[in-house]
Structure formats: C-alpha cells, structure tokens
Amino acid sequence: MTVTLIDPYTKEWLTAPLGFSWTNMFFGFFVPLYRGENVFGFIYFVVGILTAFIFNIVMWFIYNKGFIRRKLRDGWLPATNDDKDVLSAYRIRSADSFAVQHPNDRAGIRYRPKRTIFYIVLVASIIVMPLGGWALFTFIPY
C-alpha cells in the first residue's frame, strides 16, 4: 500500500510505501541515504553495527512509517482524502490534524537535500567490501 504526499509550497509529489520495507531489507542503510535522510542513514549504520544488525531487522518493519512521519513533520500533506484515511488507519496521524506548517515558511524556499553523501558511501563501500573480504581470508591460518 502506498500514500501520496504533496508539499504545499513546491507542489512536489511523493509516493511513500506503507508497511514492510522491502527496499530496506535488501539495501539497509542506503535507503535513508538515497531518500535524503543523511543523518538518519548514518545513525542507522552505526546502531546497526553496534547491535550486530538486529536493529536492521527491526527497521524492516518500522522504517516506512517513520519516513512518512518525518515527511509530515516537515510540512508535507496527504494529497487526497483517501490518503488521509489510510494514514489514520495506520495510526500515523488522525485525519483531522493535518495543518500546513512548513519549517521554511519565512524564507519561502524549500531545502532540497543533495545525495552526495549517498554516492560517497556507496563508492566507499564498493571499494572497501572486497578489500575487507580479501584481508579476512588472507590472515586466516589454514
């Protein structure tokens, strides 16, 4: 199931999935980085390592709901009444509590995060992962 959100200032549309996060299951902390949530992606990565990736399994079930909550907090609104009802059914927010509150209201501009951190981490992981495997098997005594 998906929900369509709209930014009332830029009229930009976003289709956000609800429920289990398959993309998060396959791509892990790269998903928040790709979606422009750089700080959350870094926290996801660090906590995942500290908890031996058990945190990642939990995030498969709750990431999409949290992503929609963060978008609503940033001022995005459901596009239709059906989207409001779906969000209410998933207990994300009540259908009557949607009000236009934009953090950049005074500036009149919308901050658009760049995906440079995503690409840096992606390239670094592509380079480091094979080297890590090589180093692991090189130093294991036979």
pLDDT at 2: 92
pLDDT at 75: 86
pLDDT at 106: 45
For β-strands 13-17 and 2-6, DSSP reports them as: antiparallel
Taking phi over 0 as left and psi of -120 to 50 as alpha, with beta for the rest, 52 belongs to: left
pLDDT averages per 10-residue partition of the chain, 142 residues: 90 92 91 90 88 87 92 90 90 62 49 63 67 53 54
pLDDT at 95: 46
pLDDT at 61: 93
Extents of the domains making up the chain: 2-138
